[in-house]
Amino acid sequence: MSDKSIFIFGASRGLGLGLAKEFLARGWNVVASERSTSDDLHALECEALRIVTADVTDPASYADLGFGNGELDALFVNAGISGARHQSSEQATADEVAEVMMTNAFGPVRAAKTLLPAVKDGGTLGFMTSLMGSIADSSGGYELYRSSKAALNMLAKGVAEQDAGPRNIATLALHPGWVKTDMGGPQAPLTIEESVSGLADVIENASGGFRYADYKGEDIPF
């Protein structure tokens, strides 16, 4: 059993659940969060797994999860919704913009800043982002989702510069690829297992600074 530990924020299903499985298989101690009871997550219960309840949009839910300073080797924040079905800046209401921005960008970064003392100096902080957050790569469309992930990338870079960097904590904004999940759909080319194996490699091998990269460890242009 490894003495390494990771907190995966948002592990009840899909990629978060897959990451919990992957890190357990690699011998890590895993703390995994759910918003409501996930039978799939609880099916993994073992000595190396601790399950907590937290919601990335509710700071009170993660304010006191019982972590000691420097207890974690890694913190990975996995949260995301696609947003309103129309995805249009012309049709978007203030509530629709607020929901996608708070869930995909400001919520995850606020959670990371709150929990960062639990990550040891020289550890790793990761966020689940998307290639669709790349301005350089953008073809337009999916305006709500794209803008929320671009905002997450900007905020993550700020955390890297101001909060994580001074403690030599590596900060990762990771694109999982197009994956067969509820959001990715059945036509996606990647399985959850293929994606999380690559993501875990990138997390395990991270060192210092900020990277916006994919599950294969290849850098993505901002």
Q: Angle at Cα 89 formed by Cα 76 and Cα 146, nearest 5°?
A: 25
Q: What is the CATH number of the domain that holds 31?
A: 3.40.50.720
pLDDT in tens, 140-194: 999 999 999 999 999 999 999 999 999 999 999 999 998 988 778 788 889 999 9
Please state the pTM of the whole predicted model.
0.96
Strands of 72-77's sheet in order across: 49-53, 29-34, 5-9, 72-77, 119-128, 170-175, 210-214
The answer to the question of residue 62 being in a domain is yes
- From the list 171, 73, 199, 71, the residue with the least C-alpha distance to 113 is 171
- The whole domain housing 59 covers 5-214
Spans in the chain with pLDDT lower than 50: none
| Number of domains, the chain | 1
The answer to the question of residue 71 being in a domain is yes
pLDDT attached to residue 2: 67
The answer to the question of residue 137 being in a domain is yes
The answer to the question of residue 30 being in a domain is yes
The answer to the question of residue 220 being in a domain is no
